[in-house]
Amino acid sequence: MYFPVARPRRLRSSANMRRLVRENHLRVDDLIYPFFVTGGSNVQKPVESMPGVYNLSIDRLLTKVAAIQALGIPGILLFGIPDSKDAFGSGAYDAGGIVQQAVRAVKDKFPDLLVITDVCLCEYTDHGHCGIVHESQVLNDPTLELLARTAVSHAQSGADIVAPSDMMDGRVQAIRKALDAEGFANIPIMSYSVKYASAFYGPFREAAGSAPQFGDRKTYQMDPPNLREALREAEQDIAEGADIIIVKPAMAYMDVIAAVRENFDSPLAAYNVSGEYSMLKAAARLGWIDERRTTLELLTGMKRAGADIIITYHAPDVARWLNE
C-alpha cells in the first residue's frame, strides 16, 4: 500500500547520500590491538597461523607500538610469553615478568597510549590452565589471590587497564578489592565477562603457547549454546566492579553482543579472536574474498550489534583504510 510513495532506494542513490543516512560507523577510536611479548632482543617471530602477527621482544614491540600510535589507535592489549613456567604461574605476578617489563617500556616511551594487560595464568602455568590445578581440577577460590596479585603487579608497572580473562567466579571482586587496597582505585577493570569455550581460539594458543596440557577449559569458560547465562555473567561482573565488559568471540556471537548491549549500559567490547582473523586472512590470500571490504563489513557488524570497542588483530589494516 506504500508503493510508490515510499521508495527506500531514494536514500541509496549515491555515496554521499548513503553516508548521510548511515546508522553505524566504524572508527579508529574503536580499536584495540593485541600484542604477544616475549623475552630476548631483536625477536620478531611470525605466528604461522596468524599472518602479520608476531611474538615480539620488547625492543621490537616498541617499534610496532610507534606505528600503532601513528595510526591513531588508542590502545593496545599485552599478552606475555615467559621464559619459564610452573604449576602456579608465578611469572604472571612477578614484578620482573615479561608483561611488567613491557608495560614499563611502553609507558615510558608512549605515555599517552592506553596499555591494557591480560590478567590470566594460562600462559604462565606448565599445565596450561587458567588457575591452580589439584588432581586434574581447576580450583576457583585459591586462584583468585594469584589473579589479584597479577593485576596489582600490572598496575604497579603502569598499566592503564587490567583485563581478567580467566573466567574464575568472583575474580572481578577480588581484583577490585586488591587494586583499591594498594592505592589503584582509579585503574579500570575490563573483564572478559562473557567468554565462551570456543574452537576459534586455536591460532592464539599457538601464538601464546597456552594450550592446556590435559583436558580442556569447558568447566570454566562458557558453553557456546548458552545466551541467558551470558547475561548472568555480565550482570555479576558489573556488580563486582567491572568497568568495561567483553564478549569473546565476536563473529559467531553477535546475538550475544546484541543481548548484552540491550540489557546493560556499561561500555562493551567485542573480541574479534584469532580464528576469526585467520579464516579471513586465509580466504583473502586464496583470492576468495576482498579482504578490505570483508574486514570492514565484519567489524561494522560488531558495531551494529552493539559493541563500543573492538579488540582485533585487523586493527592496523583497518586504521589505515579508515584514515585514507
Grid cell of 238 as nine digits = 558489573
Indicate if 195 belongs to the active site: yes
Contact assessment for residue 78 and residue 98, using Cβ atoms and an 8 Å cutoff = no
Please give the DSSP secondary-structure letter assigned to residue 114: E
Extract the runs of DSSP E, i.e. beta strands, from 82-131.
Answer: 114-119
| CA–CA dist 130, 144 (Å, integer) | 11
Contact assessment for residue 235 and residue 227, using Cβ atoms and an 8 Å cutoff = no
Catalytic residue among 85, 248, 281, 303: 248
Contact partners, residue 42, CB within 8 Å, separation at least 6: 57, 59, 60
Grid cell of 43 as nine digits = 625477536
Catalytic residue among 85, 177, 195, 218: 195
Quick one: CA dihedral 95, 105, 245, 266, positive or negative? positive
| CA–CA dist 165, 246 (Å, integer) | 9
CA dihedral 258, 263, 264, 267 (to 10 degrees): 10
Question: What phi and psi values does residue 235 have, to the nearest 5 degrees?
Answer: -60, -40
| CA–CA dist 8, 279 (Å, integer) | 34
Indicate if 303 belongs to the active site: no
42-56 burial by CB neighbour count: b if 16+ within 10 A, else e?
Answer: ebeeebebbeebbbb
Contact assessment for residue 258 and residue 304, using Cβ atoms and an 8 Å cutoff = no
Grid cell of 216 as nine digits = 580442556
Catalytic residues, by residue number, are 195, 248
